Amino acid sequence: MSVFLAKRFLTFVATLLGASIVVFLVLEILPGDPSMTLLGADADEEAYAALRLKLGLDDPAFVRYFEWMWGMFHGDFGVSYAYSVPVMELVWGSLGLTVPLAMFAMAITVVVALGLGVFAASRHNKPGDYVIMTISQLGIAVPNFWFGILLILFFAVNLGWFKAGGFIQWEDGIWLALKSLFLPAIALATVQAAILARTTRSAVLETFREDYVRTARAKGLTRSQTLWRHVLRNALIPVITVMGLQFANLLAGTIVIESVFSLPGLGKLVFQAIANRDMPVVKDIVLLLAGMVIVVNFIVDVTYAVIDPRLKVHDV
């Protein structure tokens, strides 16, 4: 077990290192000079030069990369160019919104998708199945920012049930905070739930064709007993694989959705940081997102081993 964890940890570090190089290179290629963004286009050459010197922008690329890495290794995540506060402070503030938002959206996705997927499979080639498949096709086709705007128009502007945007802090009441995350979570979850419902449906249908399902029926189990006792757990394996991939998509989706709903989260932060060429913030957040995705993948791998006795944790 400890060998397994050590191996996984090394993989974790190696992946993060690879991600850091990619992030750094991409930001190097990105046009736009932070000093110009910070001072505006009208400042004189000397002011630019002074700022570039202060931020170390004239150092060679590998020096800046190693300074970044070295700093992180010592727990120093850099200072934001735009706000002049430590990046850590900015990130901590916004994680409290984005992580709950992603988990909320994931929860909606799982509940809706498993329910609809299993229902559609149990009504295979009947009207219920067709209706759900059509709706899910629509759900996949709808861009989430546009759907978010529709939700605001309908539920916030017309019906007035929710606020059109903004986040009510957790300190002001958990329910109020959750309520302010509800529409964004729905907007994020729609596409993912539609995809996952289709995956669930086909996994359940596939499993129904297995020999051991026929055995279960030959023992005298009814169709629904067979579904609950023999089919579902076997069908979960492909579903969980897709769920793991979707978590990464959800995190990426927050960048757009937090802007649509003006939520001060990680997505909004990184979006503005890119616009401001606030490199330390962008680099750290992208790396953090990469780390979160790797952790989720690890959880998925462990879940496989829990569900399927044929896999031992150390095989994963």
Partner 1 sequence: MALLEVKNLDVTLATSRGPARAVRNLSFDLDRGQTLGIVGESGCGKSMTALALLGLLPENGVTTGSINLDGQDLLTLNEDAMCGVRGNRISMIFQEPMTSLNPLHTIGRQVTEPMLIHQGMTRDQARDEAVRLLERVGIASAAQRLDSFPHQLSGGQRQRVMIAMALSCKPDVLIADEPTTALDVTIQGQILDLIADIVAEAGMALILISHDLGVIAETVDRVLVMYGGAGVETGPTASLFEHLAHPYTQGLFAAVPKLGSGGRRGQGARLATIPGLVPELVDLPTGCTFADRCNIADGQCAGTVPTVHDVAEDAGHRVACLKPDDAKRQFAPAEAGR
Two tokens, residue 55: 């931020």
Strand runs labelled E in the chain: none
List C-alpha distances in Å: 212 to 85, 304, 308.
60, 20, 15
CB of 158 to partner 1, least distance (A): 45
* Binding of residue 205 to partner 1 (CB under 8 A): no
For the CA atoms of 115, 116, 118, 124, the dihedral, rounded to the nearest 10 degrees, stands at 160
Q: Rounded to whole angstroms, how far apart are CA atoms 198 and 179?
A: 28
Binder of partner 1 out of 10, 61, 161, 219 (CB under 8 A): 219
Binder of partner 1 out of 33, 58, 89, 308 (CB under 8 A): 308
* Binding of residue 206 to partner 1 (CB under 8 A): no
**Interface segment toward partner 1; rule CB under 8 A; list 51-59, 100-108, 114-122, 228-236:** 228-236
**DSSP 8-state secondary structure symbol assigned to residue 220:** T
Q: Which of 267, 259, 96, 250 is nearest to 185 (CA)?
A: 250
Are 185 and 257 spatial neighbours (Cβ–Cβ below 8 Å)?
Answer: no
* Binding of residue 46 to partner 1 (CB under 8 A): no
* Binding of residue 210 to partner 1 (CB under 8 A): yes
CB of 114 to partner 1, least distance (A): 17
Per DSSP, what are the bridge partners of residue 79? 86
Binder of partner 1 out of 39, 135, 178, 221 (CB under 8 A): 221
Interface mask toward partner 1 for 155-184; x: CB under 8 A: ------------------------------
Q: Rounded to whole angstroms, how far apart are CA atoms 102 and 147?
A: 17
* Binding of residue 214 to partner 1 (CB under 8 A): yes
Per DSSP, what are the bridge partners of residue 111? none
CB of 215 to partner 1, least distance (A): 5
Two tokens, residue 126: 């009947």
* Binding of residue 127 to partner 1 (CB under 8 A): no
Q: Computed over its alpha carbons, how large is the radius of gyration of the chain?
A: 24
**Interface segment toward partner 1; rule CB under 8 A; list 84-92, 111-119, 130-138, 304-312:** 304-312
* Binding of residue 217 to partner 1 (CB under 8 A): yes
Q: Rounded to whole angstroms, how far apart are CA atoms 301 and 278?
A: 35
* Binding of residue 220 to partner 1 (CB under 8 A): yes
* Binding of residue 315 to partner 1 (CB under 8 A): no
Binding site for partner 1 (CB under 8 A): 210-212, 214-223, 225, 229-230, 233-234, 307-310
